[in-house]
Amino acid sequence: MKQEKTNVMRILDQRKISYKSYTYDSSEAISGIEVAAFLNQNPKHVFKTLVTIGASKKNYVFVVPVEGELNLKKAAKAVDEKKIEMIKSKELLPLTGYIHGGCSPIGMKKLFTTVIDESAKECETIIFSGGKIGYQVEVTLDDLAKVIPFSLYGICDMD
């Protein structure tokens, strides 16, 4: 598969952030666990990006390990909301500029409050969507913090 630059990679390049990029051959969204297997990576280091809406109608981005589930109660507490729910798939593209399966915390149309599961602290680097299905990028949390503001919070239930 020919490596092309995604917007996420261009943003990382502009900020002079070093990253590794990965591609896998898939024309459709696959589960994060399948992505980790494709890339031959530990699923604890591969994260998925989830977009939610709070009771206040504000949107939030949560980044959790692919083998975990976002705990909506913990997520709501992390951003001081009464309740949080996932946005509908059809709302993702107009809101973020990304499609399901290619959503990255970097390069969204707007900057949303972003929370990464605290398990990421245990990882030297984390891998997440490069902004397009079939593309992943790997960065350190320190480098990611130079691109987007985020907080760390226990928001995930592991299987």
Residue 1, domain member (yes or no) = no
Q: Give the domain CATH number at 33.
A: 3.90.960.10
Q: How many helices (H) and strands (E) does the chain have?
A: 5, 10
Q: The pTM is what? A: 0.94
SS3 126: strand
Domain coverage including residue 143 = 7-158
pLDDT of amino acid 26: 73
Residue 60, domain member (yes or no) = yes
Closest CA to 68 of 41, 102, 33: 33
Query: By the 8 A CB rule, do 107 and 7 touch?
Result: yes
Residue 2, domain member (yes or no) = no
pLDDT of amino acid 151: 98
pLDDT of amino acid 30: 77
For every residue of 53-107, which 3-state class applies, written as one string? EECCCCEEEEEEECCEEECHHHHHHHCCCCCEEECCHHHHHHHHCCCCCCCCCCC
pLDDT of amino acid 29: 61
Between CA 119 and CA 109 the distance in angstroms is: 27
Output the tens digit of pLDDT for each of the chain's 159 residues: 456 899 999 999 999 999 999 998 876 667 888 899 889 999 999 999 999 999 999 999 999 999 999 999 999 999 999 999 999 999 999 999 999 989 999 999 999 999 999 999 999 999 999 999 999 999 999 999 999 999 999 999 876
Residue 43, domain member (yes or no) = yes
Instruction: Name 152's Cβ contacts closer than 8 Å, sequence gap at least 6.
Output: 115, 116, 117, 118, 120, 121, 141
Residue 93, domain member (yes or no) = yes
The enclosing H or E element of 128 equals strand 126-129
Place of tokens 């981005």: 61
pLDDT of amino acid 2: 53
Q: How many other C-beta atoms lie within 10 A of the C-beta of residue 131?
A: 27
Tally of domains within the chain: 1
